[in-house]
């Protein structure tokens, strides 16, 4: 097994934290998004969408999309469970992980990619040639606040994002919040439930992964 990874990028980080929580070590190849290596023919031969992460199995099968990669890892390494243990738990983790990606990661991405000079010509993930649109940066910034509002409400009723147990949904939320911080949108002070939860999940050993 081999992981095509990118240090500093939030979606590969979701897989690194997942691996670390499981105590799994696998070889990895770092593909620099900043240097545009994900758009070069060598990596497009691995993943034609130019996105990271990608997991390559020993027989050459390649799997992308974080939830799919984590589903395989969970099946092969069930302990500790990070995707739920019953049908209902599994559905809830999948649902909340999607919320964290669509409401959180995508909102931060829309803001950051439409405003950061680094992405001036690379606003769409996995390709080059698209110009930034300031109105989309503004919309993304508003969507980050909606994400914070929704997460605050969820964590007022639930210890972790998907329920009483730590899961992939927490990993995705943490990575989205840390990306927002990197994009100069820190967690506001008036979100006590998110802060309570963040301090717990950010203290787990795997978060540095």
Strand partners, 63: 55
30 interacts with ligand GSH by CB under 6 A:
no
* Nearest to ligand GSH of 30, 65 (CB atom): 65
Select from 22, 99, 122, 154 the one that contacts ligand GSH (CB under 6 A): 122
Q: How far apart are CB 46 and ligand GSH at their closest, in Å?
A: 12
Residue 6, SS3 per DSSP = coil
What CA dihedral angle connects 1, 90, 158 and 79, to 10 degrees? -40
Q: Give the Cα separation of 46 and 169 in Å (integer).
A: 27
Applying CB under 6 A, the site for ligand GSH has a residue count of: 14
Select from 4, 5, 10, 183 the one that contacts ligand GSH (CB under 6 A): 10
Note whether 11 and 175 are within 8 A (CB): yes
Q: How far apart are CB 167 and ligand GSH at their closest, in Å?
A: 15
143 interacts with ligand GSH by CB under 6 A:
no
State the DSSP H helix or E strand holding residue 136, giving kind and residue range, or none if neither.
Answer: helix 134-157
Note whether 11 and 65 are within 8 A (CB): no
126 interacts with ligand GSH by CB under 6 A:
yes
Select from 28, 38, 114, 115 the one that contacts ligand GSH (CB under 6 A): 38
Stretch that binds ligand GSH, among 49-57, 75-83, 141-149, 161-169 (CB under 6 A): 49-57
51 interacts with ligand GSH by CB under 6 A:
yes
Binding mask 54-93 for ligand GSH (x = CB under 6 A): ----------xxx---------------------------
What letter would DSSP give residue 100?
I
Note whether 15 and 3 are within 8 A (CB): yes
The Cβ-side half-sphere exposure at 57, using a 13 Å CA radius, reads 9
Q: Give the Cα separation of 4 and 62 in Å (integer).
A: 10
Contact residues: ligand GSH, CB under 6 A: 9-11, 33, 38, 50-52, 64-66, 122, 125-126
């Amino acid at each position: 097994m081999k992981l095509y990874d990118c240090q500093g990028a939030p979606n590969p980080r979701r897989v690194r934290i997942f691996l670390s929580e499981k105590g799994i070590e696998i070889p990895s190849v770092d593909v620099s998004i900043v240097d545009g290596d994900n758009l070069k023919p060598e990596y497009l031969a691995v993943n034609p969408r130019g996105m990271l992460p990608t997991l390559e199995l020993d027989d050459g099968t390649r799997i992308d999309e974080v939830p799919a990669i984590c589903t395989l890892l969970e099946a092969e390494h069930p302990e500790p469970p990070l995707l739920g243990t019953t049908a209902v738990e599994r559905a809830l983790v999948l649902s909340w992980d999607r919320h964290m990606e669509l409401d959180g990661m995508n909102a931060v991405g829309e803001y950051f990619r439409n405003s950061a000079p680094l992405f001036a010509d690379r606003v769409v993930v996995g390709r080059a040639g698209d110009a930034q649109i300031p109105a989309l940066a503004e919309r993304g910034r508003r969507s980050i606040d909606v994400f914070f509002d929704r997460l605050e409400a969820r964590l007022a009723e639930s210890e972790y994002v998907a329920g009483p147990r730590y899961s992939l949904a927490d990993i995705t939320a943490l990575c989205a919040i840390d990306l927002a911080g990197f994009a100069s949108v820190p967690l506001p002070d008036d979100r006590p439930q998110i802060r309570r939860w963040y301090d717990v999940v950010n203290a787990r050993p795997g978060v540095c992964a």
